[in-house]
Amino acid sequence: MSKQKLPKGLTHEKIKAIIDHYENQSDEEAEAEIEAAFSDPRFCWIQVPVEMVEEVQRLIAEKEKTAAPPPMPASKRVAEPKAKYGGKR
């Protein structure tokens, strides 16, 4: 069996911290996190046919390489639980 390669920036410790975060999260905390994600003005939520997901991911990756979004003012930022487990902004 071959050893799995972790995604860039993730370690086994970070993965364990992410799992712990979600396993120990209350229903209220989970709901607040979901609501914060849907209210983030930097993103929109759309349905994509499954067969197009890889192409959409590729397009997003290309776009991110060429143009970084302007920083969001602190007054408009939403809660980022990623900070709990060592994520970077």
78 neighbors 39 (Cβ within 8 angstroms): yes
Please determine, for residue 76, whether its predicted confidence score (pLDDT) is greater than 80: no
DSSP 89: -
DSSP 2: P
State the amino acid at position 15 in one-letter form: I
The region of weakest confidence among 54-58, 67-71, 82-86 is 82-86
State the amino acid at position 31 in one-letter form: E
- Higher-pLDDT residue of 44 and 71 is 44
- Region 8-29: what's the mean pLDDT? 93
Q: What is the pLDDT of residue 32?
A: 93
Entry pTM: 0.46
Nearest to 39 by CA among 29, 31, 47: 31
